[in-house]
């Protein structure tokens, strides 16, 4: 059956900075010569309508790996243990909820969906081993929704070589889509593009125009893209101090003191939510008065829990809708989580997972009964101005660009929640 737009309105996959971690091993493992990694299979396959009948695919159709007349199997390697476990689980919960919703509606073209997950603990080598297992042992149709730039960058070349689609990683490096790889697609606005857009926005918005700016990023390739993007925009002329920090930094007071002495009035920081909270608290400790602007990783509920009233009045940016908004896509996501993942709240990563699932469902529908790699790829490249119910800007893919989204949205913390501050903006 075709999934109507009204019943599948949302599906989601700044500079997000994740803290490196190690994984605890569970009882179920997948073993290779190089490593033993946790395998957490969540074969989420709700039964489709038993009265529905599926005609067999014609003999001249070559179905892709992981596709049968009645099902499509996806795989994902993501952090489900360690410091990044909460965001990996959040993303996976939304993927599984989307799969269950699709299957309860009868599937797509008579096929139900399955997703097999593996825990990589945000370790690139484990992600590589997991991806090999998923492609060679599980024989998945596609790897969908990896979380983390470093693990995704490690996995992506393997999928390209194996001609297995690598769909919608939550990864912000430009290497995901530049150059274009035939079966790699993303809706995650790269860190460079995010920060060109933010730098442009700050140069004209009344809250920031003319103010001196401090810039701090992690000492990593992601951090370099964040800084390079911001400095490529017009607000570069107002930067009075640039600082870096190392992964796992316990205190940011040295950098904050540098900003204080430089006279920075606005401080833009590429950090995760816990780090953003720490910075706000330490800024208060030293008496630093400034407007703080957090990257995408900071825009969660965690800062309000850890830093309390210090968060209100500060800003952030997102490339998916903030979860406290009133977009119709959020209503559907929240309803699905309540039904299929009771007790789990929506977050930035689940919004990305839900939006990416919407795009996958559209491509599967357009590909038709003969779900070959060629037909799927053609379907993806035909998607134009796809509406995710406000979860992202309009999604478009072409043969020349597999980056479907380059937009960001500025948000502001008020009353203990993140709210929309400006409309979607795109770098020039």
What does the pLDDT look like over 229-250, one tens digit per residue?
999 999 999 999 999 999 889 9
The pLDDT value recorded for residue 4 is: 35
CATH (one of 3.40.50.2300, 2.60.40.10, 3.40.30.10, 3.40.50.300) for 191-318+411-420: 3.40.50.2300
SS3 string of the chain? Answer: CCCCCCCCCCCCCCCCCCCCCCCCCCCCEEECCCCEEEEECCCCCCCCCCCCCCCCCCCCCCCCCCECCCEEEEEEEECCCCCCHHHHHHHHHHHHHHHHHHHHCCCECCEEEEEEEEECCCCHHHHHHHHHHHHHCCCCCEEECCECHHHHHHHHHHHHHHCCCEECCECCCHHHCCCCCCCEEECCCCHHHHHHHHHHHHCCCCCCCCCCEEEEEECCHHHHHHHHHHHCCHHHHHEEEEEEECCCCCCCHHHHHHHHHHCCCEEEECCCHHHHHHHHHHHHHHCCCCEEEECHHHCCCHHHHHCHHHCCCCEEEECCCCCCCCCHHHHHHHHHHHHHCCCCCCCHHHHHHHHHHHHHHHHHHHHCCCCCHHHHHHHHHCCCCECCCCCCCCECCCCCCCECCCCEEEEEEECCEEEECCCCECCC
The pLDDT value recorded for residue 385 is: 96
Q: What mean pLDDT is predicted for residues 250-266? A: 97
pLDDT digits (tens, 9 = 90+) for 147-176: 998 999 999 999 999 999 999 999 988 899
Q: What mean pLDDT is predicted for residues 186-195? A: 94
The domain ranges of the chain are: 29-189+324-397, 191-318+411-420
Percent of the chain having pLDDT more than 90?
74
pLDDT digits (tens, 9 = 90+) for 13-66: 333 333 333 333 333 333 333 333 333 343 333 333 433 334 456 668 999 999
Q: Does the pTM exceed 0.75?
A: yes
CATH hierarchy code of domain 29-189+324-397? 3.40.50.2300
Fold agreement (29-189+324-397, 191-318+411-420): yes
């Amino acid at each position: 059956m075709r999934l109507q737009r009204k019943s599948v309105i949302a599906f989601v996959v700044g500079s997000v900075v994740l803290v490196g971690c190690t994984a605890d091993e569970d009882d179920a493992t997948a073993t290779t010569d190089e490593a033993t990694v946790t395998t957490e299979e969540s074969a989420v396959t709700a039964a489709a309508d038993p009265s529905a009948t599926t005609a067999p695919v014609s003999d001249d159709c070559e179905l892709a790996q992981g596709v049968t007349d009645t099902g499509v199997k996806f795989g994902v390697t993501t952090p489900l243990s360690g410091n990044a476990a909460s965001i990996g689980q959040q993303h996976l919960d939304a993927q599984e909820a989307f799969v269950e919703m699709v299957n309860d509606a009868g599937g797509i073209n008579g096929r139900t969906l399955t997703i097999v997950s593996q825990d990589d603990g945000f370790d690139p080598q484990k992600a590589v081993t997991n991806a090999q297992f998923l492609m060679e042992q599980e024989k998945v149709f596609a790897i969908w929704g990896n979380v983390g730039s470093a693990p995704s960058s490690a996995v992506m070349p393997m999928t390209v070589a194996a001609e297995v689609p690598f769909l919608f990683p939550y990864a912000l490096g430009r290497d995901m889509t530049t150059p274009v790889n035939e079966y790699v697609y993303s809706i995650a606005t790269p860190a460079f593009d995010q920060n060109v857009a933010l730098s442009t926005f700050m140069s004209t918005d009344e809250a920031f125009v003319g103010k001196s700016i401090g810039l701090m990023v992690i000492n990593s390739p992601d951090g370099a893209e964040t800084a390079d993007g911001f400095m490529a925009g017009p607000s570069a002329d107002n930067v009075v101090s640039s600082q870096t920090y190392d992964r796992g930094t316990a205190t940011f007071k040295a950098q904050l003191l540098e900003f204080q002495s430089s006279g920075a009035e606005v401080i833009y920081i590429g950090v995760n939510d816990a780090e953003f909270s720490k910075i706000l608290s330490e800024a208060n400790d030293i008496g630093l008065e400034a407007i703080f602007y957090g990257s995408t990783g900071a825009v969660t509920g965690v800062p309000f829990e850890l830093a309390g009233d210090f968060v209100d009045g500060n800003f952030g940016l997102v490339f998916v809708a903030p979860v406290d908004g009133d977009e119709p896509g959020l209503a559907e996501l929240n309803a699905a989580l309540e039904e299929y993942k009771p007790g789990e709240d929506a977050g930035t990563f689940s919004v990305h997972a839900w939006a990416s699932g919407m795009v996958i469902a559209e491509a599967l529908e357009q590909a038709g009964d003969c779900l070959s790699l060629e037909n799927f790829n053609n379907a993806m490249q035909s998607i134009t101005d796809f509406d995710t119910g406000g979860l992202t800007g309009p999604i478009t893919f072409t043969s020349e660009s597999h980056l479907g989204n380059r937009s960001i949205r500025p948000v502001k913390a008020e009353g203990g929640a993140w709210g929309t501050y400006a409309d979607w903006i795109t770098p020039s």
